[in-house]
Amino acid sequence: MAKINSNYNKLAAGYLFPEIAKRTKAFAEKNPGVAVLRLGIGNTTEPLAPSIIKALHLGVEKLADVKTYSGYGDEQGDSRLRKAIVDYYSSIGVSLESDEVFVSDGAKPDSANIQSIFSGKCIVAVQDPAYPVYVDSNVIAGRTGSANGPTYEGLVYMPCNEENGYFPEVPREKVDLIYLCSPNNPTGVVATKEQLKKFVEYAKKNKAVIIFDAAYNWFITDNSLPKSIYEVEGAKDCAIELNSFSKFSGFTGVRLGWCIVPKAVVTEDSAPGKVNQLWNRRQTTMFNGASNIVQEGGLAALTKEGALENQKVIDYYIENAKIIREGLIAKGFNVFGGTNAPYLWVRTPNNMKSWDFFDKILLEANVVVTPGSGFGPSGEGYFRVSAFGHRENVIKAVESIKNNLKL
């Protein structure tokens, strides 16, 4: 008799973003003719850079000719792209080897799958609030007990709040896997080198592993802030880093990312090299490599020309964030993030619950935001605003909040 993975039953609700989409659709159906302004999911809207489009065409053309056709590629990624990623790290002062780079179809799958190479007994710590995939993937893997109100038993929540500048202290107890995200989704706050150093020291002392999600590092404009955890000495002994072409070059629908697993990473029961080998084993067994066409696009994104073109689009989203930030502050909101990140983290008015405010702002201003409680218990009483969107829609949304939202 087959049985289901009953850990799925522990999940408190549907995955956050489809849930928002469902409620938005219901609102739109009930209110035909109302233009809904979407600042909910962090989804790119602007076209790809010209040099990337050219490279994607090249990828297709190669498939049309027997001399350049390619089928299955290396599961770990095209060696040219792995080398380009190594060169990118080198440009920020981090030295890596190509076999520490694993190209993937995005940071979401990697952030969900990486836990599978660690023991089911590992104690997991997450920033609270956090990108929900870190928690949900560990719930599904059975590393938690049941949901107890807004928390899961057995999971260590590291609160990020106004008092600690939205970056947590290291855990007091011993934990084994630590998820950190900087620039942070959802708070938009970037960790300093000093703050990351404390986690690296903790991880090395406790033989813990940090899973560092750097998917938004392209939005860091302040050069004193670290773009990679490997800028901290010793991080290669204890940290795995994820990144993505989604936000860097608009590949949200194209799909491409990478995962760095340094050979120096160790666990309590493994020597250097083993964790890297396990991820290689996992990927070669369960993943058949990213699309060859898409990898051509990724290569172009990492050239000087591609990076400059991408930067223009990133600057556009950063300008959106500035417009939203100023508009919300003018309306009297308490706003965080949004300067080195595409997200703004905002307190709800009058201590409203996040989902109540989601309904209110949708009803009164026709604007979709993301309820903070969807990212964890410390997100209650907040909402997240995404700066991804066409400028005219962003301006309309801010104007509508200013004019129509009743505080």
Applying CB under 6 A, which residues contact ligand PGU?
Answer: 17, 41-42, 106-108, 111, 131, 181, 185, 213, 215, 244, 246, 252, 257
Q: Which of 314, 308, 316 is nearest to 50 (CA)?
A: 308
202 vs 251, beta carbon nearer ligand PGU:
251
Q: Output 38 or 197, the one with its CB closest to ligand PGU.
A: 38
Cα separation, 66 vs 38, whole angstroms: 45
Tokens 């039953």 appear where? 9
Nearest approach, Cβ of residue 246 and ligand PGU (Å): 3
Q: Are 246 and 217 in contact (CB under 8 A)?
A: no
Nearer Cβ to ligand PGU, position 117 or 368? 368
Kindly tell me which of 256 and 266 has the beta carbon lying closer to ligand PGU.
256
Dump strand ranges (E) for 245-380.
Answer: 257-260, 335-337, 343-347, 367-368, 370-371
Minimum CB separation of residue 397 from ligand PGU in Å reads 16
Tell me how far, at minimum, the Cβ of 34 lies from ligand PGU, in Å: 23
CB-neighbour burial class of residue 26 (10 A; exposed 0-12, middle 13-18, buried 19+): exposed
For residue 350, give every residue at least 6 positions away whose Cβ sits within 8 Å of its Cβ, in sequence order, or none: 407
Residue 32 Cβ, how far from ligand PGU at the closest point, in Å? Answer: 26
CB contact set of 304 (below 8 Å; sequence gap of 6+): none
User: 228 with 89: CB under 8 angstroms?
Assistant: yes
Of the candidates 404, 388, 406, 370, the one whose C-alpha atom is nearest the C-alpha of residue 323 is 388
Q: Is the peptide bond before 183 cis (omega within 30 degrees of 0)?
A: yes
The residue at minimum Cβ distance from ligand PGU is 106
Question: What distance in Å separates the CA atoms of residue 135 and residue 388, rounded to the nearest whole number?
Answer: 24
Compare residues 181 and 191 and give the one whose CB is closer to ligand PGU.
181
Beta carbons of 390 and 45 less than 8 angstroms apart = yes
Report the residue number, 75 or 241, with the smaller CB distance to ligand PGU.
241
Cβ distance to ligand PGU smaller for residue 161 or 252: 252
Residue 26 identity? A
Q: How far is the CB of 121 from ligand PGU (least distance, A)?
A: 25
Single-letter amino acid code for the residue at 22: K
Closest separation between CB of residue 96 and ligand PGU, Å?
Answer: 19
Q: Could you tell me which of 113, 96, 91 has the C-alpha nearest to residue 104? A: 113
Tokens (6 digits) for 251? 């590949």
CB of residue 282 to ligand PGU, shortest distance in Å: 17
CB of residue 180 vs ligand PGU: minimum separation in angstroms? 10
Amino acid at 34: V
Shortest distance, position 369 Cβ to ligand PGU, whole Å: 11
Residue 107 or 361 having the CB closest to ligand PGU: 107
Cβ contact 104:261 at 8 Å: no
Tell the smallest beta-carbon distance from residue 42 to ligand PGU (Å).
3
- Least Å distance between CB 187 and ligand PGU? 11
Q: Kindly tell me which of 213 and 380 has the beta carbon lying closer to ligand PGU.
A: 213
Nearest residue (CB) to ligand PGU, 111 versus 310:
111
Q: Which two tokens stand for residue 266?
A: 């160790």
Q: How many CA atoms lie within 13 A of 403 on its CB side?
A: 7
Q: For 188, what's the count of Cα atoms within 13 Å in the CB-facing half-sphere?
A: 25
Residue in 131, 98, 97 with CA at minimum distance from that of residue 114 = 131
Nearest to ligand PGU of 327, 342 (CB atom): 342
